Structure 1
Amino acid sequence: MASNTSAIITWGSGEDGQLGIGNNEEKDWAYPIKALDSYSVRSVVAGSRNSLAICDDGKLFTWGWNQRGTLGHPPETKTENIPSQVKALANVKIVQAAIGGWHCLAVDEQGRAYAWGGNEYGQCGEEPERKDDTGRTLRRDIVIPKICAPKLVVRQVAAGGTHSVVLTRDGNVWTWGQPWPPGDIKQISVPVRVQGLESVRLIAVGAFHNLALQEEGTLWAWGNNEYGQLGTGDTQPRSQPIRVNGLSGLTLVDIAAGGWHSTALTDNGEVYGWGRGEHGRLGFGDNDKSSKMVPQRVNLLAGEDIVQVSCGGTHSVALTRDGRIFSFGRGDHGRLGYGRKITNGQPLEVPINIPPPRNLGDAAAEGRWMAKLVACGGRHTLAIVKWKDTDESKQ
């Protein structure tokens, strides 16, 4: 008998509690987040030092680093290693969220966007400084989620190192904060529309660069380009969107942006990567860790029928249609999930060796865990897995 029982698994660095397992240990192998067992989680996001989960009913849970209010409640503790609900958003249904360098964004089913955490560059949509009663200038972090960009009806939020980007329901892209340091870009806390982009259906944001995929399939990029992460064939930064080279003729279905690298996924399950190649995070092989100025196909994943790719700080993970996970890139702190503390540009499968659901009894011997979603962070990874019986997992 098939079961819809699911679990949230994690691995990698846990020094800030970002694994959510009740301690600050690192895990070299997939490990269940037991505190979320009783919830129906639809999405997870891994940030640089913290994590979040969104439930089917719209509840939002956060855990990890909290010194700047990144967990959405007053930072009474520096880190928290058990997921807790963001009470300020308990009365709205959150449908999507993002984590930046030290701030977070979320959007509810009505299209209202919320921001919280570090705000020194206006990335939460508030003026970054305020005066106290004595006239001193104080940094203005947002420790309780507040509505941001109130005039916009938002479909998707994305967060960078020090800036925010949103996609509205009418297909336009808006941004605020500090796009990339250093430079002459003036920090802003008021949303500004990104010119030249219309009919956008998906956005992805790295540390200081941005990607936007239009409905008709054209991919655009702007921001920092130090390692070729814009895919323009050079390393010149762009303040306005420019078309990504080398993808014409392909039907793109998904995009992802890491710290300094980018990926695109085609409708036939092929992955293209570009940008910083150090540590093998692009997946081109053990001996090819060079940066790529234009997208190149990740041949080592050919034939695997990839349905999602997620990019972290120095590693990446790919999800196959039949629920397997491949990871590649920097391997210390267990971030690759297969126990090898090495730098690896060769995509290898992550074993999901966690116990089967308890309520299955003897039937547990006839199934396996299948991953449904993956999320790469700075030095850790999250995934949603579901138990499928043997017959179902072969379909």
Structure 2
Amino acid sequence: MGYKVLSCGSNGNYQLGISDDEDYNTLQAAQFHIDDKVVSDMPDKPIKIVCGGNHTFVLFESGSLYSCGQNTYGQCALASRQHIVGFHQVQGSWKDVSAGWEFSVLVNKHDELFVCGLGLKHELGLGSITRTEMKKLDIKFPSPINKIRSCVNHTILILQNGELHGWGNCRKGQLGTLVAKANGKLPSTLTSPTKLNFGVEQILDFDIGRDVTYIYSGTHVYIFGKTKELFTVEKPIGSLKSMWSSVHYTCDSKINSYGNNSHGQLIPSTSPCPRSFEIGSEHGLLHANNKVYAWGWGEHGNCGVHSKPVSSKLEDQVTFNYLNEIYSGSNVILLGCGCATSWIIVSTV
């Protein structure tokens, strides 16, 4: 069995992993450079798609990692050149990866952190610095890393023992309200990985958006960022996933949404129970009934082609406030979403 990576959406920096830099509103097969060959079928099973502002990683079951897209600051973890066209392998064996706007954080099999890219807001955990080559962080955590997330300018990880650690931009309180203050004020950044305290006794899950962090406690979802809010969840929730300005979670096998809906980001209430779903910057993908649907802001083609009539207004032409089918087939194994990019991994015979 093989696997094919399909993508559509924003591609001005080759972040779709194909041979050109045109945006697409139909799915394209990504290309992988292996030795001297370019292939679209991979024998190794992809287990995660991670997207930065204009760069992309594909993590495979074997621990191999491939990247493509904008590499101005070395954020693709490859030899520095402006763009990585098609997916190329990152040296090493990897457990996880996260990506912000122009930086990346890689976790190896020993729970060691490696960073690369632009770090002017301390996104690399190294102070205000840019690293065009991977740099290992000099830190050892007291417990294995369970989950790591990066967004535009900040990163948070959770350990198996429940501790949260983070760094980067925190001027809006997205790294917690109880970090050390100077002159009575919150710092604008955390320069290195720091144990975080959000004042929430029990943390079961988290995710982050643009200048915001969501914490799930079992009874509430707390929102730390530009606004300090919380909302009650009456039943236990499953997956908690954040767009830049909204949060989405499963409850009783249905997806629920909370937050900004200026371009249809909140999932339609009539949506079917998902087999899986993923969230991008301002759009989402849902897999149900052997089909993949998109909704939200589809300005770059990431939500496919409109299947419903739209008006002449630009905002109507790029808003998908309904589920728009972009793929049909029983061979879908994984979804991914990025900054106006959509990803579907399918199995091939």
Q: How many residues align?
A: 318
Once residues 341 and 216 of structure 2 are traced to their aligned partners in structure 1, the CA distance between those partners, rounded to angstroms, is 26
Give the alignment of 1:29-178 within 5 angstroms.
Answer: 29-35=26-32, 36-40=40-44, 41-76=46-81, 78-87=82-91, 90=92, 93-128=93-128, 140-148=129-137, 150-152=139-141, 153-178=144-169
2:257 alignment counterpart:
273
- Cα 1:189–1:85 change in 2 (3 A) is same
Q: CA deviation at 1:337?
A: 2.3
The answer to whether residue 292 in structure 2 is matched with residue 328 in structure 1 is no
Q: Is the 8 A contact 2:74 2:80 kept in 1?
A: yes
Q: Is the 8 A contact 2:249 2:255 kept in 1?
A: yes
Q: CA deviation at 1:39?
A: 4.2
Residues 231-290 of structure 1, C-alpha deviations (whole Å, 9 max, x = no match): xxxxxx34xxx6x31312x22110111111111112x32011111111111133xxxxxx
1:11 alignment counterpart:
8
Q: CA deviation at 1:17?
A: 0.3
User: Could you state the TM-score of these two structures normalised by the residue count of structure 2?
Assistant: 0.83
Q: Is the 8 A contact 1:103 1:123 kept in 2?
A: yes
Q: CA deviation at 1:207?
A: 1.4
The answer to whether residue 268 in structure 2 is matched with residue 264 in structure 1 is no
1:381 alignment counterpart:
342
Q: Is the 8 A contact 1:149 1:190 kept in 2?
A: no
User: Could you state the TM-score of these two structures normalised by the residue count of structure 1?
Assistant: 0.74
Q: Is the 8 A contact 2:255 2:267 kept in 1?
A: no
Give the alignment of 1:330-369 within 5 angstroms.
Answer: 330-338=297-305, 342-352=318-328, 368-369=329-330
Q: CA deviation at 1:49?
A: 1.1
Q: Is the 8 A contact 1:172 1:199 kept in 2?
A: no
CA-based RMSD of the aligned residues comes to 2.4
Once residues 115 and 30 of structure 1 are traced to their aligned partners in structure 2, the CA distance between those partners, rounded to angstroms, is 31
Which residue type is aligned with residue 246 of structure 2? H
- Cα 1:277–1:14 change in 2 (3 A) is same
Identity of aligned residues (%): 16
Which of 209, 222, 235 is the equivalent residue of 1:206?
Answer: 209
2:192 alignment counterpart:
190
Structure 2, unaligned stretches of length 5 or more?
33-39, 174-184, 308-316
- Cα 1:198–1:32 change in 2 (3 A) is farther
- Cα 1:280–1:375 change in 2 (3 A) is same
Which residue type is aligned with residue 188 of structure 1? L
Q: Is the 8 A contact 2:221 2:233 kept in 1?
A: no
Q: CA deviation at 1:319?
A: 2.4
Q: Is the 8 A contact 1:170 1:199 kept in 2?
A: no
Tell me which protein shows more helix as a share of its residues: 1
